[in-house]
Amino acid sequence: MKFYDAHNHLQDDRFAGRQGELLAVCEKAGGVRMVVNGACESDWPQVFALARENKMVLPSFGYHPWHLHERTPDWRKNLLKFLDEVPSAVGEIGLDRWKPDLSYDGQEEVFLAQLQIAAERNLPVSIHCLQAWGRLLELLQNNPRPARGIVLHSFGGAAEMVPALAKLGAYFSFPGYFLHERKLRQRETFKLVPADRLLIETDAPDQHLPEEKILHPLVAADGKPLNHPANLPAVYAGLAEFLGEKIGPLAARVEENFQRVFGGL
C-alpha cells in the first residue's frame, strides 16, 4: 500500500537532525510523498534542503499565523524566491483566533497576500484555521483561489460548512489526533467529506495519535513525546475503521486525491 502525508513539519528543530533516519523509516512503512510545510522565513531553507536531499519530500513555503511577528520587510520577496527555486506548494498559511495572546492584527493581510500568490501560480495551498471558519469562508469566497484546490489541514470546522468549502475547491485533511475518543465530532464531520476531497496527514511532530495506535514512538531530547511521521499508516487505518471502509480502497482514493491536488510538484 502507498501512503501520502498531506501535511507535516519534518524540518522541525525538535527532530534534532534525525530527519534522514525518520525518512528511511517512512519509506519502509510505505510512505511515498509528504508535504513538508515551512512556517516562517527562518525554516524555509531547511524545508528546501530536505526537498533537495529526498524525493519523498514535497516542499511547501508559507507564513504560519503563529510566526507573523517574525516576518521581515522582505518576507514576500523571500517567499517568491523559494517558490521560484523548486516546484513547491504554498503553506502553511492561515487564520487563528484560538491561540491565547496571539494577535489577529495583520493575519488576514498576510493570508490574502499568500493566497493570491498561490492563485496566480495555481499552486496548492495548505491552510490552518482555528476559530475563524466563518471569516475564512468569506475570504475564500471573495478572493481568487488556486484552480487546483486548497487543502484545509486538520479540518475541524463545522460539518455544515463542508459543502460550501468543497464548492470552493477545498480538500479536507484528517490528522491522527482526531482518532482520540474525545474528537468524535471532528471524526463524524469526515463522514460528510466528498470521496474525492479526502486527504490524510500526520502533522508530525505534533498531533499525537492515541497511545495504543502509535506504531513508532519517538521522544525529543527534552523527554517530550514527538509524533513520528511513520505513524501515517496508523492514521489511515484508524480513519478506515471509523468510516467502516477497508484500508486498501481508502488508500487508493487518498492517492488519487493527493495526485490531483499536489501532482506535478
Q: Which residues bind Zn ion (CB under 5 A)?
A: 92
Residue 66 or 104: which CB sits closer to Zn ion? Answer: 66
> Nearest 5°: phi and psi at 141?
-70, -30
- Picking from 35, 116, 33, the residue whose alpha carbon sits closest to that of residue 80 is 116
217 to 1, 127, 134, 183, 214: CA distances (angstroms): 22, 27, 37, 21, 6
* Cβ-count burial 224-246 (b if 16+ within 10 Å, e if not): eebbbbbbbbbbbbbbbebeeee
Q: Which is nearer to Zn ion, 71 or 247 (CB)?
A: 71
Shortest approach of Zn ion to residue 113 CB, angstroms?
19
Which residue, judged by CB position, is nearest to Zn ion in the bound state? Answer: 92
Other CB atoms within 10 Å distance of the CB of residue 46 = 18
- Percent of residues in the chain assigned helix, strand, coil, to nearest 5: 50, 20, 35
Minimal distance in Å, beta carbon 92 to Zn ion? 5
For the CB of residue 128, give the shortest distance to Zn ion in the complex, in Å: 6
Measured from the CB atom, the residue of 43 and 92 that comes closer to Zn ion is 92
Determine whether 92 is exposed, middle or buried from the number of CB atoms within 10 Å of its CB (0-12, 13-18, 19+). Answer: buried
* Nearer residue to Zn ion within complex by CB, 41 or 92: 92
| Nearest CB to Zn ion, comparing residues 5 and 92 | 92
Shortest Cβ 262–Zn ion spacing (Å)? 16
- Which bin fits 219, alpha (ψ -120 to 50), beta or left (φ > 0)? beta
Block residue for cell numbers 525554516: 43
DSSP 92: E
CA–CA separation, 256 and 196 (whole Å): 8
Considering the complex, what minimum distance in angstroms separates the CB of residue 29 from Zn ion?
20
For Zn ion, which is the closer residue by CB, 196 or 207?
A: 207
Q: Which is nearer to Zn ion, 94 or 144 (CB)?
A: 94
Least distance (Å) from Zn ion to the CB of residue 213?
Answer: 20
The least distance separating Zn ion from the CB of residue 244, rounded to whole angstroms, comes to: 28
